Amino acid sequence: MTTKLSSAPLAVKSLLMCMLLMSSLCGCEREKRQYRTDPPVAAALDEVAPMPNGIAGAPPDAYVAAGEPYKSNAYDLSQGKQLYSEFNCSGCHAEGGGASGPAFLNGWWRYGPQAVSVFVSIRDGRPRGMPAFRSRLTTEQIWQLAGYVQTIGAYSAKTSAPGRNDAMQSRPSENRSPAKSSYASDQWPYSAAQ
Amino acid sequence: MALLRRAIALSVCFTCPGCAGWQSALDPHGQQARGLEGLIWTFIWVAAAVWISVMAVLAIALSRKSGRGAGNERRMRVTVGGAVAGTAAIVLALTIISFLSTRLVSSEASHPLEIRVRGYQWWWEVTYLDARAERVFTTANEIHIPVNRPVRLQLSAADVIHSFWAPNLAGKQDLIPGRENTLTFSAQQPGTYRAQCAEFCGVQHAHMALLVVAETPDAFEHWRQSQLSPAASPTDPEQAEGRKVFTSKPCASCHTIQGTSASASIGPDLTHLASRSYIAAGLLQNTRGSLAAWIADPQTIKPGNNMPNVPLTANELRAVSAYLAALK
């Protein structure tokens, strides 16, 4: 191979070199972080239309128009992860395994896996203990948190991930479809035992 | 030639401001910083003397005609031997000087003032420790110290590695998540010195400054007493409205104001916010106007920081800025 390449004409070699350099340029594009949402857009992000039973429903137009960033943007997922620990979600849900609150890791969602359901659960609270965070978090923060909670209970791997844990890992990391691993185990609520 | 002279004059003008001021290692106001300053000047003068003498020898050698004599071989051996011995002596002397002054800089003091400094992206949490729990208090982005008393900082970090650097007072010391570093220093005269995070810690690393205010022991004790008291109560209806807005909106889920229901510790403690000179870690002068601007749109003023844009009406913003500006 080396001898072949060294005997190739100069034009071919320089062409190959150019292609190599150009392909390395692809690595320069960085994910866009949106630190600031325009206030009207932020207000519009609150306009979810859940079904009457509080499960699923239509996401806000602004959320769809923005390309559903809170599901897949690594910065938003990281912010969500930070909020998860700062606002003591782990106090009830632990690291996704559940404690006094339900688990996320088993992939079983009481109110459905849709982003709207998770958003409404956090914003308005749910019966039997889930408090409302409407006056504690901004709408953007609730979306970031909802996006992160969805990744903990995800069945399919994501290409984006939040920052790594500082502490010891107690479950598969967020971009490795944590719920899928418990689906394979006996922990699944539909198993014969239940 | 005229151009060269102008360039030299200009460069001298530009370098001079670096030698003095409230954030300069070349303007020491503490024993530790003085030790480091002495060290750097010793190194600079010795290195300059070595460089000049080497250049002089080189110039002499180039200008002289080469002579081949019987004594040359011996003279050369003596010269080279002398140069090697001189180099070894200088390196050894500088090593010893360096060791002695760093030992002085990092020496522990007895009965220092203990302050815990915790680095966050991108601000500093400052806790004054005391054996009596009721004398412990927390503030942010501003350290007050009494002059001529050693201060021991217990440095830790909440998220990533930061570094504490108050060049007028001491050298750098890193804040590392999961471990505690210490830095002991003292200020020799009253003054306000600027410290800065010296380890790249993210997008707003440049806007992570801190003030060190050195005061007479009396002034420090007075400041300490005022910080220990709960927050000032509202004195007019607008401020009272501001307190209501603060405690009912998301503000209270991250900040503490002692004496109100706001008691979260995610963001800086705001109990005596108005007593500080700057807000947002040295970014804005602390006025009611900049407070309102900051609350209205923190993501434009310091993009990427963890304070969200909280939607407030104009009246709510006016009220909350009036309340915060009165928290002396």
Residues of B in Cβ contact (< 8 Å) with A43: 311
Residues of B in Cβ contact (< 8 Å) with A44: none
Instruction: For residue B133, tell me if it sits in a domain.
Output: yes
**Looking at B224, B259, B280, which one is the last position of a domain?**
B224
- Residue A80 clears pLDDT 60, i.e. is over it: yes
- For chain B (328 residues), the mean pLDDT of every run of 10, in chain order, is 64 59 88 90 95 94 74 83 94 94 78 94 95 93 94 94 94 93 92 95 95 96 94 94 94 94 93 94 94 95 94 95 94
Q: A177 falls in which pLDDT band (50, 70, 90)?
A: confident
* Shortest CA distance from B253: residue in chain A: A136
Which of A79, A138, A166 has the CB atom closest to B310's CB atom?
A138
User: What phi and psi values does residue A5 have, to the nearest 5 degrees?
Assistant: -65, -40
Torsion, Cα of A30, A36, A41, A42 (10° steps): 120
CATH assignment at residue B271: 2.60.40.420
Fill in the amino acid letter for B305. Answer: N
Q: A194 falls in which pLDDT band (50, 70, 90)?
A: very low
pLDDT attached to residue B90: 95
Residues B249 and B201 occupy one common structural domain: no
Domain of B134, in residue numbers: 113-224
Residues B156 and B184 occupy one common structural domain: yes
Residues B206 and B162 occupy one common structural domain: yes
Residues B202 and B130 occupy one common structural domain: yes
Distance from CA of B271 to the nearest CA of A (A): 19
Residue whose tokens read 């927390």: B138
- Residue A3 clears pLDDT 60, i.e. is over it: no
Distance from CA of A45 to the nearest CA of B (A): 13
Phi-psi region of B6 (alpha: psi -120 to 50; beta: other; left: phi over 0): alpha
Q: What is the CA radius of gyration of chain A?
A: 22
- Cβ distance B253 to A35 less than 8 Å, yes or no, reads no
Interface probe, candidates B253, B305, B307, chain A, greatest A C-beta count within 10 A = B253
Residues B260 and B191 occupy one common structural domain: no
Which of A36, A137, A138 has the CB atom closest to B300's CB atom?
A36
Render pLDDT for B105-142 as a digit per residue (tens, 0 to 9).
777 778 899 999 999 999 999 999 999 999 999 999 99
Render pLDDT for B253-302 as a digit per residue (tens, 0 to 9).
999 999 999 999 999 999 999 999 999 999 999 999 999 999 999 999 99
A82 touches chain B (CB under 8 A): yes
Q: A171 falls in which pLDDT band (50, 70, 90)?
A: confident
Least confident of A7-21, A115-129, A132-146: A7-21
pLDDT attached to residue A193: 40
Least confident of A126-135, A170-179, B299-308: A170-179
Instruction: For residue B193, tell me if it sits in a domain.
Output: yes
**Looking at B166, B189, B224, which one is the last position of a domain?**
B224
pLDDT attached to residue A191: 44
Residues forming beta bridges with residue B143, ordered by sequence position? B212
**Looking at B174, B201, B224, which one is the last position of a domain?**
B224
B306 touches chain A (CB under 8 A): yes
Surface of A (14-33) touching B: CB under 8 A: 33
Structural domain total, chain B: 2
Instruction: For residue B83, tell me if it sits in a domain.
Output: no
Q: Are B30 and B169 in contact (CB under 8 A)?
A: yes
Instruction: For residue B3, tell me if it sits in a domain.
Output: no
Complex confidence, ipTM: 0.83
pLDDT attached to residue A66: 86
Q: A153 falls in which pLDDT band (50, 70, 90)?
A: confident
pLDDT attached to residue B282: 92
Residues B217 and B264 occupy one common structural domain: no
pTM of this structure? 0.85
Q: Are B197 and B60 in contact (CB under 8 A)?
A: no
Q: Which has more pLDDT, A157 or B187? A: B187
A137 touches chain B (CB under 8 A): yes
Interface probe, candidates A86, A139, A140, A144, chain B, greatest B C-beta count within 10 A = A86
Render pLDDT for A45-67 as a digit per residue (tens, 0 to 9).
999 999 988 888 899 999 988 88
Please write down the long-range contacts of A55-59, taking CB distance under 8 Å and 24 or more positions apart.
Answer: A55/A111, A55/A112, A55/A114, A55/A117, A56/A111, A56/A112, A56/A114, A56/A116, A56/A117, A57/A114, A57/A116, A57/A117, A57/A120, A58/A116, A59/A115, A59/A116
Residues of B in Cβ contact (< 8 Å) with A39: 309, 311
Instruction: For residue B35, tell me if it sits in a domain.
Output: no
pLDDT attached to residue A182: 64
Residues B290 and B211 occupy one common structural domain: no
Instruction: For residue B105, tell me if it sits in a domain.
Output: no
